[in-house]
Amino acid sequence: MRAVVFEAWKTFPTLKDIEKPTPGPGEVLLKVAGAGACHSDVAVYKDFEAATAPPQLAPSYVLGHENSGWAEELGAGVEGIALGDAFLVYGPIGCGHCVACSRGEDTYCTNAATMPYMASGLGRDGGMAEYIVVPARNLVPLGDADPIKAAPLSDAGLTPYHAIKNSLPNLTGGGKFALVVGLGGLGQIAVQILTALTGATVIATDSKADAMTRAQANGAITVPSGPDQAAQIREITGGRGVDAAFDFVGIAPTIALASAVMATKSRLTVVGIAGGKYEWSFFTTPYESTLTNTYWGTIEDLYEVVAMYKAGQITPDVELFAMEDALEAYRKLEAGELTGRAVVVP
Ligand code: NAD
Ligand code: ZN
Ligand code: ZN
């Protein structure tokens, strides 16, 4: 079968023929419906290096950690899954039996350090291929919802959802403001989720004008970058600042921008993995404000994301690519040329 393979650190992936996998005990073979391209893949193959990257991410394997597909074959011991049914894949794979995994939070598996991989497409074969094998417990049923458009929900939907859910206490109470920085695959869905779940005014920004236009269509007020950007954002909030912010870029300047506009008792979540640094000081930090990061989400969150998708509250903007054009999807992602989440449809 054709697959996009990450073969070596600091090396662009290859499109090549590999053997079709077979499901082991407790696993299911899916015929892939859609596989999203995430900016974290770019970090993995372009920025990370052997000395500092988690050993679980070492090449080689098939990329793609945002996957959907139809059940094609069941491994030994798997029951209750009808062949041909459509599923979204919960990507993180923990040990399956620790306290974190028992609550569906494989992201924070207490045995992660001794696991051989992190997730489907992150250390073990992912979905940028005609077929993928995943543990049966990682499947979330899609019913009759479109599985191709659903693929980005696995990460571009789940990650902002988890961050926003943890910030809901900051956004309830009326008259609240949320800020979204970086309106790519994750940021656009963040705007949709904030609009659907909270009554907060959503302020958003991106370095690209067309990304801001799409965010406006999803319900955001946008503020372009520029020297008075923080002042403009503060003005929208009546001077008080924003109650929750989500940074989907994560470089020092975006963390600094968000930090400059936070309100008292606010929460800033850095989602982007660009490694930006921020210097904290008692005297310049709003009282009782929180700065945190986050990693993906729980399988329970993913069920909730799928429910929002089925209710029409989340509609990922997608740009579809045939398998033979999968590498073009990554090229466009790197170049910032995409107009929606790139989804490879084998
Ligand atoms: P993307 O490339 O689709 O979107 C990034 C957006 O940020 C683009 O629209 C780009 O124009 C914009 N941008 C870049 N620099 C900017 C700046 N200085 N100011 C304003 N906007 C700027 O990427 P994505 O797939 O949505 O991922 C976003 C980030 O989140 C990446 O760092 C990715 O690795 C990370 N990520 C983290 C998690 C997690 O669990 N923490 C999960 C998925 C992705
Ligand atoms: Zn990702
Ligand atoms: Zn575990």
Ligand 1 neighbours, Cβ below 6 Å, are 38-40, 43, 155, 159, 181-187, 205-208, 211, 225, 248-251, 253-254, 271-274, 294-296, 333, 336
Ligand closest to the CA atom of residue 275: 1
According to the model, what pLDDT value does residue 61 have?
Answer: 98
Q: Residue 14 has what pLDDT?
A: 98
Instruction: Report how far ligand 1's centroid is from the alpha carbon of 74 (Å).
Output: 36
- The ipTM value here is 0.99
Q: Nearest ligand to the C-alpha of residue 159?
A: 1
Closest ligand 1 atom number to CA of residue 187:
26
Closest listed residue to residue 202, CA positions, set 171, 158, 227, 229: 171
Res 51: pLDDT: 96
CATH of domain 158-293: 3.40.50.720
* pLDDT on residue 154: 98
- Give the number of the ligand closest to the Cα of residue 208: 1
Q: What is the pLDDT of residues 35-64, one digit of tens each?
A: 999 999 999 999 999 999 999 999 999 999
Q: Whose CA is nearest to atom 34 of ligand 1?
A: 40
The structure tokens listed for 44 are: 């993995």
Q: How far, in Å, from the CA of 304 to the mean position of ligand 3?
A: 21
Query: Going by CA atoms, what residue is nearest to atom 1 of ligand 1?
Result: 184
CA of 284 to the centre of ligand 1 (A): 27
Instruction: Let me know how long the chain is.
Output: 346
Residue nearest to atom 39 of ligand 1 (CA): 295
Q: How far apart are CA 17 and CA 32, in angstroms?
A: 16
If you classify domain 2-155+297-345 with CATH, what class do you get?
alpha beta
Quick check: 111 and 26 in contact, CB under 8 A?
no
Taking the CA of residue 257 as reference, the ligand 1 atom at the shortest distance is 19
DSSP assignment letter at 122 = B
Q: What is the pLDDT of residue 22?
A: 98
Model pLDDT, residue 93: 98
- Cβ-Cβ contacts under 8 Å for 222 (sequence gap 6 or more): 203, 204, 205, 206, 212, 213, 215, 216
Task: Please tell me the predicted confidence (pLDDT) of residue 244.
Answer: 99
What does the block give as tokens for 248?
């989907």
Hey, which of 40, 251, 332 would you mutate to test ligand 1's pocket, going by the most ligand atoms within 8 Å of its Cβ?
Answer: 40
**Mind listing the pLDDT tens digit for each residue in 88-115?**
999 999 999 999 999 999 999 999 999 9
Closest ligand to C-alpha of residue 65 is 2
Tokens of 47: 């920025």
Residue written as token pair 């982007």: 272
Contact 91, 145 (CB under 8 A): no
What is the domain partition of the chain in residue ranges?
Answer: 2-155+297-345, 158-293
Minimal-distance CA residue to ligand 1 atom 27? 39
Q: Tell me which of 189, 206, 212, 268 to substitute to probe ligand 1's pocket, judged by most ligand atoms within 8 Å of the beta carbon.
A: 206
Bridge partners for 124 per DSSP: 120
**The pair of three-digit structure tokens given for residue 204, joined into one six-digit string:** 């958003």
Measure 39 CA to ligand 1 centroid, in angstroms: 6
Helix (H) / strand (E) element for 197: namely helix 185-197
Buried b (16+ CB within 10 A) or exposed e, 283-315: eeebeebbbeebebbbbebbebbbebbeeeebe
Low-confidence ranges of the chain (pLDDT < 50): none
